[in-house]
Amino acid sequence: MKLPLWRRGQDRELDEEIESHLRLEIADRVARGEPQDEAARAARRRFGNVTVVKEVTRDMWGWVGFEQFAHDVRYALRALRKSPGFAIVAIATFALGIGVNTAMFSVINAVMLRPLPFPQPAQLVDVAELDLRPGQPRVPGSASWPNFFDWRTRATSFSGVSAYHDSAFTMLVGGRSVHTPGAVVSADFFTTLGVPPTLGRGFRADEERAGSDVVILSDSLWRSEFGAARSAIGSTLSLNGRPFTIIGVMPPAFRFPIRVPAPQLWVTVADDARALPGDEPMTTQRGAHYIGVVGRLRPAVTLAAARSELDAIAAALAREHPDDNGTRGVMLTPELDRLVGDTRRALVVLVGAVACVLLIACVNLANLLLARGAGRSREIALRLALGASRRRVVLQLLAESLVLAGAGTAAGLILASWCVRVLTTVAPTDVRGLDEVTIDSFVLAFTAAVGFLSALAFGSAPAWLGSQTSPRSAASDDGRTTAARGQGRLRAALVVAETGLGVVLLVAAGLLVRGFYLLVHTDPGYDTTHVVTAKFNLPEQRYSYLKQIAFYDDLFADLGARPGLQVTGVAPMPLSGSRYTLSFELAGAAVPQARRPSADFALVGPVFFRTMQIPIVAGRDFTAADSDSAPRVLAVNETFAQMFLQGHDPIGQRVKLSLSTTEKETPWREVVAVVRDFKQKALDEPSRPAFFVPYAQGLISPMFIVARTTDPPARVIEQLREAIGRRDPELALYDVRTLEEYVGRSVAAARFQMLLLALFAALALALTAVGLYGVIAYGVAQRTREFGIRLALGARPQEVMRLVLRGAMRMAGAGVAVGVVGAALLTRLLGAALYGVHPLDPVTFALVIVSLFGVALIAAFVPARRATRVDPMMALRAE
Amino acid sequence: MPGQRYQNRIELLQGTLDLLILQTLQWGPRHGYGISQAIAAVSADVLKVDTGSLYPALHRLERQKWIRAEWTTSERNQRTRVYELTRAGRAQLLHERSRWEQLSAAIGSVLAHSGEIPS
């Protein structure tokens, strides 16, 4: 017999023990006078077969438990085969519970737990600037290049600290213009992240200087545009009209900053170090906050230590540059936490929901097992009478739960892998990791653990109760009654608990659905229908600042003149997820620069407000006459007028924005319009002060074209393409979308969370209904004789039915009461996801209560009708 | 299969043999051979403990932590495995003894009954 390693030593000891036994007996016999060889023979004969003794002794070493378990499992399998209906319902119920939990956990794993794909990912921290002005939320904000440069030279906590920001490139390859998302980074970017290029080299420090036009490509861009040719290194690529030298290619999996779509190329900060028309380069503008910063902590430097060092540096910078940095702080967050961001809360809610579903599934299983145990009490009593210990009986019943859980877990995994596939196709794509959800070994381990613990959870009470049968009842007939009564109470309590859980989930889902309904029906402040938008970049090489303005002027005039088409421009595009903010100064109020308030800001084209159908409360819309040579103007929204221009007629007030273009000094601008508030970044944002400037008086970013038309979008896009291509064939039109698509994208995450929660709530409701049905049906079966007697004594069928239904309603009522209290305590956790719905919204609560009672009635109706059909004679004879 | 046969015998003897082993060890640590000798001697050779029952019983009692084993060197300079009663074993001995006494009293009273058995 081959023994496992850890048993071999023990086996040698046993050999030795037997050896010593024989020696002792031989010695005894010799002492009594027997000859040595005879004594040895006698001792051996007396001892018996050494091999057999060893074998039976070894059996005591612990295999016994395992063998008994194997036996129990075989027995359980046989028992389950005998009642396939029970087995299928139980396994399917458990598979549902485990399946949704596995799927959700694989999401959590991919989004929150799986480390970032960089070496020593725990060392990476996000370094952000904080706006310390009173009234501003303390949220991580973008940094400016000069501040970043100072952090980089002064801080000693980091082995590397690097900056990055998204940038769009128009790439000229093979005579085609292709829009390509990319990033502008500091030269040490790849070193800090710890990922070198697979081909070529990384950036050198001296390549941060203006004029060093080098680029590193993503693996996919290298494959798609350069055929994965090694000769691509060293060749020239035209980006935004300027030649760049390709110096490296990143590995296929490298993706940072994490964006959708993923950046395809990286250039150095040299791109931002170029002098701008009429302005300093971005790398010297301390007040221009638009970059992200990632640092790698030195080994043994804690986050807290790095925080205090950076705080000190930020304080020093505030003293040195009071105008720009007087109210700027710094904030360090582990990079993974920063990336998970707002997703955490939504995921926690969803995890709570699937945990509820699993609990409900477990309660149903416990109920099924209790009913089954009651039916088997005679069999168990017999086993007890035959000498089985209660412990053995409990273990055997638990083995059955484990078999059910095992089969359910296997089925649940199949369900989960299917769920994951569906999930990844419908999930919003802007959450890091959501496109990499897989059932890996960690998820499998989690599922196995949950499956096992659940089996103990739903199996232990039925197993224990099952073993409490008296052995004596094996012989008599009434064994079930006493045991059944205690079980009946437990079963009712379980159903109450599961109804309560179901109520909590339904209320949560109901609130989210209502919140989502409110969200998508929020008036954004403009008409979102029949609007097509698109974007293109004008290469600065060939388009000076004034030429860019002229290009837009000409384009808007041309397109706007076409029949059935209203055309204007805007930047940033409402609901595209970006927001510009700018500080300003009011005439007559001398405020130091660092304390100046700021407001949302957008560049807009002529007739923007009319085209978007944003009501103008006072004043006039912008026109083509608001040109670079015209007096400087701006429009403000109502919130701005209320907050900053109160008590005056807003029209004609003067405001100075930190936005200058062709002027020597930052100009004062005159308010020419007050417009109704509209949603800039998200539908659920509260009203914020905002102002709007004609693009010709401060063009600082490429404009989106906004076209309103009743024509089909495809035709409008064709016209746009043609109009742009005719002016410059090297321009690439991108981000071509309708405004309604932007609305859809901005609510995608909310829609996803709502749909998932609604799905889980529906599952919970179905399982609760099954649980209620099971308990009521079982109760009716138990009381067949009672109903028979009642009917025989002249009770009318309706009375019997009412009796059953009343019992069901009592259970449902208790469950609803528990659930309503639970929901009232828990719905607050949904927080911002509710979009203005009160966590105790009475309509939702009322609807849930009514629907639960409805479901309970339906679940109780079938067994109740069965109760009225009891044949009194049959019922009596059955005894 | 011989193992099967032995196992059946263990089960038959189980309770009683355990009691005998624990009782024997009450007077001090002994090795397996010593235990079988002691039982034989005290029962005047009526009870002969089969090694195929003794060693499995010893290893099982050890697993149940009622007895504890230790390798020692005997007076004749031989390494032997010596068993000793644990505190739990002492408690178990008392328990098994009272059970045995109940049983033997019951059997005794049945055997002593000479009259008619009430139906």
Give domain limits for chain B. 2-106
Residue A190, number of CB atoms within 10 A of its CB = 22
The answer, yes or no, to whether the previous bond of A572 is cis (omega within 30 of 0) is: yes
**A14: chain B residues, CB-CB within 8 Å:** 55
Shortest alpha-carbon distance between residue B62 and chain A (Å): 10
3-state class (DSSP) for residue B61? helix
Nearest alpha-carbon partner for A160 in A365, A8, A299: A299
**Number of domains into which chain A is organized:** 4
CA separation (Å) from A172 to A230, A299, A351?
19, 43, 47
Tokens 């998200």 -> residue: A682
* Sheet arrangement for strand B79-85: B30-31, B79-85, B67-73
Contact A256, A184 (CB under 8 A): no
Compare all CA atoms of chain B with the CA of A24 and give the residue at the minimum distance.
B33
**A49: chain B residues, CB-CB within 8 Å:** 2, 52
Encoded amino acid at A162, one letter = S
- The DSSP code sequence of A813-872 is HHHHHHHHHHHHHHGGGGGGGGTT--TT-HHHHHHHHHHHHHHHHHHHHHHHHHHHT--H
Shortest alpha-carbon distance between residue A3 and chain B (Å): 17
pLDDT in the model for residue B12: 41
Looking at the structure, tell me whether residues A363 and A307 fall in a common domain. no
- Does the beta-carbon distance from B79 to A20 stay under 8 Å? yes
Query: Which of A697, A731, A765 is where one domain is finished?
Result: A731
Q: Rounded CA gap, A169 and A622, in Å?
A: 30
Residues 81-110, chain B: which have Cβ within 8 Å of A? 81
> What ranges make up the beta strands (E) of A500-610?
531-535, 565-571, 580-586, 598-604
Tally the C-alpha atoms within 13 A of residue B43's C-alpha that lie toward its C-beta: 16
pLDDT per residue over B85-98, tens digit each?
998 889 888 888 88
pLDDT per residue over B40-84, tens digit each?
888 777 777 888 888 988 988 888 888 999 888 876 677 889 999
The answer, yes or no, to whether the previous bond of A252 is cis (omega within 30 of 0) is: no
**A386: chain B residues, CB-CB within 8 Å:** none
**Could you tell me which residues come within 8 angstroms of residue B119 by beta carbon, excluding any fewer than 6 positions away?**
none
Compare all CA atoms of chain A with the CA of B1 and give the residue at the minimum distance.
A52
Which pair of tokens denotes residue A145? 């290049």
Looking at the structure, tell me whether residues A597 and A480 fall in a common domain. no
Looking at the structure, tell me whether residues A320 and A443 fall in a common domain. no
3-state class (DSSP) for residue A44? helix
- Does the beta-carbon distance from A24 to B81 stay under 8 Å? no
pLDDT per residue over A95-105, tens digit each?
999 999 999 99
pTM equals 0.75
- Does any domain span residue A70? no
Shortest alpha-carbon distance between residue B51 and chain A (Å): 6
Contact A684, A521 (CB under 8 A): no
By the CB < 8 Å criterion, does B40 face chain A?
A: no
Looking at the structure, tell me whether residues A761 and A825 fall in a common domain. yes
A-interface mutation test, from B5, B14, B51, most A Cβ less than 10 A away: B51
Looking at the structure, tell me whether residues A722 and A756 fall in a common domain. no
- Does any domain span residue A533? no
Tally the C-alpha atoms within 13 A of residue A459's C-alpha that lie toward its C-beta: 23
**Least CB-CB distance to A57: which of B34, B55, B80?**
B55
CA separation (Å) from A207 to A200, A236, A245, A654, A851?
15, 16, 12, 43, 67
- The DSSP code sequence of A64-119 is HHHHHHHHHHHHHHHHHHH-HHHHHHHHHHHHHHHHHHHHHHHHHIIIIISPPSSS
Q: What is the dihedral of CA A463, A466, A469, A474, to 10 degrees?
A: -120
**Least CB-CB distance to A53: which of B51, B63, B71?**
B51
- Does the beta-carbon distance from B32 to A17 stay under 8 Å? yes
- Does the beta-carbon distance from B63 to A61 stay under 8 Å? yes
By the CB < 8 Å criterion, does B77 face chain A?
A: no
Contact B49, B102 (CB under 8 A): no
Tally the C-alpha atoms within 13 A of residue A853's C-alpha that lie toward its C-beta: 14
A-interface mutation test, from B55, B64, B72, B76, most A Cβ less than 10 A away: B55
pLDDT in the model for residue B2: 40
- Does any domain span residue A109? no
Contact A350, A757 (CB under 8 A): yes
DSSP summary character for residue A307: H
pLDDT in the model for residue A480: 46
Looking at the structure, tell me whether residues A267 and A371 fall in a common domain. no
Q: Rounded CA gap, A771 and A499, in Å?
A: 9
By the CB < 8 Å criterion, does B14 face chain A?
A: no
Looking at the structure, tell me whether residues A274 and A353 fall in a common domain. no
Looking at the structure, tell me whether residues A266 and A309 fall in a common domain. yes
- Does any domain span residue A211? yes
Q: Rounded CA gap, A93 and A91, in Å?
A: 5
**A18: chain B residues, CB-CB within 8 Å:** 55
Q: Rounded CA gap, A265 and A168, in Å?
A: 10
Nearest alpha-carbon partner for A541 in A366, A730, A776, A304: A730
pLDDT in the model for residue B9: 38
Parts of chain A with a pLDDT under 70: 1-6, 62-67, 276-279, 386-389, 471-486, 660-664, 832, 875-879
- Does the beta-carbon distance from A16 to B79 stay under 8 Å? yes
Helices (H) and strands (E) in chain A, counts: 26, 21
What is the pLDDT confidence band of residue B7, given thresholds at 50, 70 and 90?
very low
- Does any domain span residue A622? yes
**Least CB-CB distance to B7: which of A25, A56, A61?**
A56
pLDDT in the model for residue A486: 67
* Neighbour-count burial for A244-266, b at 16+ CB within 10 Å, e otherwise: bebbbbbeeebbbbeeeebbbbb
The residues pairing with A330 across neighbouring beta strands, listed in sequence order, are: A129
- In this structure, what are the phi and psi dihedrals at residue B85, rounded to the nearest 5 degrees? -75, 135
By the CB < 8 Å criterion, does B49 face chain A?
A: no
Encoded amino acid at A157, one letter = S
Which pair of tokens denotes residue B50? 């089969």
Query: Which of A731, A757, A791 is where one domain is finished?
Result: A731
Compare all CA atoms of chain B with the CA of A62 and give the residue at the minimum distance.
B63
Q: Rounded CA gap, A525 and A679, in Å?
A: 6
Which residue range(s) make up the domain with A48?
A: 5-61
**A32: chain B residues, CB-CB within 8 Å:** none
What is the pLDDT confidence band of residue B116, given thresholds at 50, 70 and 90?
low
**A20: chain B residues, CB-CB within 8 Å:** 31, 33, 78-81
**Least CB-CB distance to B56: which of A21, A27, A57?**
A57
Looking at the structure, tell me whether residues A274 and A391 fall in a common domain. no
- Does the beta-carbon distance from B55 to A56 stay under 8 Å? yes
Compare all CA atoms of chain B with the CA of A60 and give the residue at the minimum distance.
B60
By the CB < 8 Å criterion, does B50 face chain A?
A: yes
CA A781 to chain centre: 46
By the CB < 8 Å criterion, does B65 face chain A?
A: no
C-alpha angle B40-B42-B48 in degrees, rounded to nearest 5: 20
**B74: chain A residues, CB-CB within 8 Å:** 24
> What ranges make up the beta strands (E) of chain B?
30-31, 67-73, 79-85
- CATH 3.40.50.2300 assigned to B2-106: no
- Does the beta-carbon distance from B7 to A27 stay under 8 Å? no
- Does any domain span residue A114? no
